[in-house]
A and B are shown apart, each in its own frame.
Chain A
């Protein structure tokens, strides 16, 4: 049997400042070592000042993953020497001497499978090493040092790499939905895996760049361990690194070589009391969960389950939906978003480039619902609005998408079609199921502007006369 457990590092990217100082939490695209102060650079004499908002955000994640939050949380120092660590210790949380981390003993059910969460801890991210190829130099950029991070540790409850991928997607949606992190930012969410086969030893896989790679790394590791076991070779307890270029895992160090982190309580940060009232208030202000949102979409607006699934789990698009729907157009908007918008803008960058607003969507869906615009024209209008941000009225007139629903004009066009398509008309008279061919012809002539219901009505009448 395969047992897989995960350690997920998730940056709290929605915070303004770092975990222990007022430097910016967003360190990306800055001049190296420009986002640092005596505290995050670990200068002699500096002291960490705990960012209370980070504790709140970490508590939100803990609650969302069904974890217990203790009455008191504390911080520990994890001591090890590494050039990206300005103090040569990391301030983190540690439960070996009693549960003092922000969350523990949680669980989340995914596709019917329960995944237990062992603990959630709040900690600081180290700096970054930058390798300069030509000069052989290793440079250190401390801009990231002190960025708030939660580490989520699961029990070894996964049996397949696919379960891991599904879980990670759900987790990414979840942290995005509760507004603590943008998991799609580069380096915002990082995963290490622990994996064992049968009675074999546990192997840790580190250095995995993306969610896709963790699935590959786990697959590789399962195959490797299974083939060892088949030949009765012992799987050694060790840490292996994922080699992205060669697509294999390579041994990094054995467990005997593991460092002793000499954990020590961090006395510079006094124990933080978490009052019941604060937890209640956090609960009250938590955004609606994805599951609850999905249920609401289905039961209140009659949105099909599959559409509701996709819509509710994407914070960006569900926000767009929430800001644009009304009782009459909810289903239409859900359709527009999930079939047209999502396919068009599926990455973070593309989403940010979208010029469409909730107001655009409302107008568009209302027009379709009220038969002022066909779905086809609606799609064209949508694409134009996404790119230009122009109003619906402007787009309709510039693309000549005006709806044709007056009986006279449609009749005229149908007459033309009847002349051109004598054979098809005769066939349809015999077999009414082929009527769509004629509808299509009308639509082509009107560039999709003819009202489909009216067209169908007149066609039927003319065919039977």
Chain B
């Protein structure tokens, strides 16, 4: 049985009865057991429920009952998205024992379509990080070379799809957290337009910029998942009430006659040589298929990382203040503590990166500094948006490498936060402006590590964006993961 099949293949085979869902789930669980030691993608594996659900779906298939469009497809979920009855730890000691009493909107939509939630996967604590090294439960490892980071913060999602521990996954992307692991693990990852997917049930880190995003083996799979999880939600005031789009329908429309802008600021200084040449290769392939590529300069991008960390940290400091260990959390009695002392003591259990960002965020919001930092960052954000609006008058898409560098070794950058932050230079622009961006696996480096290419489109143009990503995907012929 091939666990590496795509979501769409899985669905058509299950529908025809060519595979037994129960067998597929059992094999998937076996695979998880086999490779977890090496890659550590999962925080929670929900074996029993998954198997029971699979049996139930097989029965329905045999008796030709109505079944949801996922046909028991195993999906892993980043552990900052609530699924009722399962722990939602956010890879933090602070939520070590928190069992979500409700389903996130994306989870209930997946369940309605008979997807099987196979487990909850690893992340940097509260999604703050780009390597998954900041997880309270230990780092995840890159299936292409376990000595290397898988990217992050949705590292568990990228790893679980890449290591064939599930068919698809949901991650969340605040500053590149879907696209970074997608690029480093050689899977497709989409950061949708802000407001396209409900955030209800996604534990907030920086709520004005983050979105849940699908991660899968193919662009079709991402389109398939997007069909299920996108759309207006009465539990999230920030979702947009646009007419529902079928993202699979015109996926193969091609790219002929389309214009693509090459973002100068994202292929210049500091970029890895192999990444640069892969990007050039991608551009020339798209040109061969009828696209016109022109350079585009977005000079506000130079300030994007600073603006991103200011805004994200400010929001984080507020969003994470509810974790005071009073109503839920870890085992730590209140006796002998005055309220503020207790909260301070409890909150000293956040990990180093979360602590760093909360301090930074509290600082930039404090009286007298708001204008100097937070408002200035918001101005940069508005500038980026304005420059993108201008750019999209000239071009249909923008292109860049997803990550400026190849996956690096575990531990290599963990002691240098600034260096780590700078690896987000190509991804944060989409979050600050709200536009959609997708990372498509494009090449494998001479050292055997994946390289992803990033495409951007204007807000709510996921349809077009997926069409372009599909074209790019079809130009590649990548090896299987060596695990």
Contacts and interface: CB of A to CB of B under 8 A. Distances in A.
Interface of A: 38, 41-50, 77, 79, 81-83, 86-89, 97, 140, 260, 262-265, 267-270
A44 B88 contact: yes
Nearest to A48: B237
Interface in B423-450: none
B245 interface: no
Given A262-B318, A267-B207, A45 B88 contact: yes
A90 to B, nearest CB: 11
Contact of B90 (A43, A44, A86, A263): A44
B318 A264 contact: yes
A41 B98 contact: no
Interface residues of B, number: 44
B322 A42 contact: yes
Contact of A264 (B203, B235, B326, B365): B365
Given A267-B238, A267-B315, A270-B238, A47 B322 contact: no
B365 A45 contact: no
B235 A262 contact: no
Contact of A88 (B238, B321, B366): B321
Given A46-B201, A49-B237, A77-B318, 9 more contacts: A44-B82, A44-B90, A45-B80, A49-B236, A79-B365, A82-B339, A97-B375, A264-B365, A270-B238
B238 A38 contact: no
A50 B199 CA distance: 15
B322 A87 contact: yes
A43 B101 contact: yes
Nearest to B378: A265
A145 to B, nearest CB: 11
Contacts of A42: 322, 327
Contact of A268 (B207, B322, B343, B370): B207
B209 to A, nearest CB: 8
A43 B95 CA distance: 11
Contacts of A81: 321, 324, 339-340, 343
A47 B234 CA distance: 10
Interface string B316-341: 01100110101110000000000110
Contacts of A260: 366-367
Given A81-B324, A87-B322, A88-B324, A45 B104 contact: yes
Contacts of A269: 237
9 contacts: A89-B322, A97-B375, A140-B326, A262-B317, A267-B207, A268-B204, A268-B238, A270-B237, A270-B238
The 8 closest A-B pairs by CB, nearest first: A267-B208, A262-B365, A88-B321, A45-B201, A44-B203, A45-B82, A87-B322, A45-B203
A38 B101 contact: yes
A50 B237 contact: yes
The majority secondary structure among interface residues of chain B is loop
A26 B158 CA distance: 47
Interface string B365-380: 1110010001100000
Contacts of A44: 82, 88, 90, 95, 98, 100, 203, 322
Contact of A89 (B200, B238, B321, B370): B321
A239 B85 CA distance: 46
B254 to A, nearest CB: 36
Interface of B: 80-82, 88, 90, 95, 98, 100-102, 104, 199-204, 207-208, 234-238, 314-315, 317-318, 321-322, 324, 326-328, 339-340, 343, 362, 365-367, 370, 374-375
Nearest to A87: B322
A327 B237 CA distance: 51
A47 B362 contact: no
A140 B324 CA distance: 14
Given A262-B317, A263-B365, A47 B200 contact: yes
Given A47-B200, A267-B208, A87 B321 contact: yes
Most A CB contacts (10 A, CB to CB) among B88, B100, B367, B375 go to B367
Nearest to A268: B207
Contacts of B367: 260, 262
Contacts of B374: 264
A262 B88 contact: no
A361 B95 CA distance: 63
A261 to B, nearest CB: 8
B479 to A, nearest CB: 38
Contacts of B235: 47, 49
A88 B322 contact: yes
Given A47-B199, A81-B340, A89-B318, A262 B362 contact: yes
Nearest to A265: B208
A83 B339 CA distance: 8
Contacts of A38: 101-102
Nearest to A272: B237
A263 B369 CA distance: 11
A79 B321 contact: yes
B358 to A, nearest CB: 11
Contacts of A87: 321-322
A41 B101 CA distance: 12
Contacts of A83: 326, 339
Contacts of B101: 38, 43
B314 A264 contact: yes
A47 B88 contact: no
Contacts of B82: 44-45
Contacts of B204: 45, 47, 268
Contacts of B238: 47, 267-268, 270
